[in-house]
Chain A
Amino acid sequence: GDSVTQMEGPVTLSEEAFLTINCTYTATGYPSLFWYVQYPGEGLQLLLKATKADDKGSNKGFEATYRKETTSFHLEKGSVQVSDSAVYFCALSGPGTDKLIFGTGTRLQVFP
């Protein structure tokens, strides 16, 4: 079945460092890909998404590109802030099924 694999955390960075969180997927057909974020004490919210190959999703300085050839959707940010500390979830939603399939989540901790 469809699945998402993302890098284990926690990821610990200093402020202004470059961030990459790896995400790869297995799916039949062409899924939509998402990054959701859960800030401390808050609910899950969409960070960005891409619905077809080579699309780039971006928001709040974060970017991810839908790579069909490598079945990947890695999350990147050029300069992280303390306020980016959160748990990040990669997810997919396949054609014909609307449910989200999530990766295990990666906790990011950014220190000043």
Chain B
Amino acid sequence: GAGVSQSPSNKVTEKGKDVELRCDPISGHTALYWYRQSLGQGLEFLIYFQGNSAPDKSGLPSDRFSAERTGGSVSTLTIQRTQQEDSAVYLCASTPLIGASQETQYFGPGTRLLVL
């Protein structure tokens, strides 16, 4: 079946602009995660959704970052007033179960964001 998909695959933007990154999880997966992969920081957790609610937002680096999930499916990560340090690959992952730390997370291909 279809895996996790993300769009766009690449995004170049100017400093100060807003960007929206989209994630379509595997159908039926109830848990959704956002991570960021950057040269300086490695792979970092950003936010986690159970259904449409976000019980853990602890990884969002600033109030310029926000995310939502609708219909228990698609999620959008929004970065306002982008800065050069936001340049990274943004990864989305999903799992079928809620509250199961031993479950495999299935990752999308990522969105590569470059802020000029």
Contacts and interface: CB of A to CB of B under 8 A. Distances in A.
Given A43-B107, A45-B107, A99-B56, A32 B43 contact: no
Interface residues of A, number: 26
Contacts of A102: 42-44
Contact of B42 (A36, A97, A105): A105
Contact of A49 (B35, B44, B93, B102): B102
A89 B106 CA distance: 14
Interface residues on B, range: 20 to 34
B103 interface: yes
A46 B106 CA distance: 8
B55 to A, nearest CB: 9
Interface in A58-112: 89, 91, 93-105
B71 interface: no
Contacts of B108: 43
Interface string B84-115: 00000001010100111111111111100000
A46 B104 contact: yes
A20 interface: no
A93 B42 contact: no
Interface of A: 31-32, 34, 36, 42-46, 49, 51, 89, 91, 93-105
Which 7 A-B pairs give the minimum distances between C-beta atoms? A102-B43, A93-B101, A51-B102, A32-B102, A44-B107, A99-B45, A43-B109
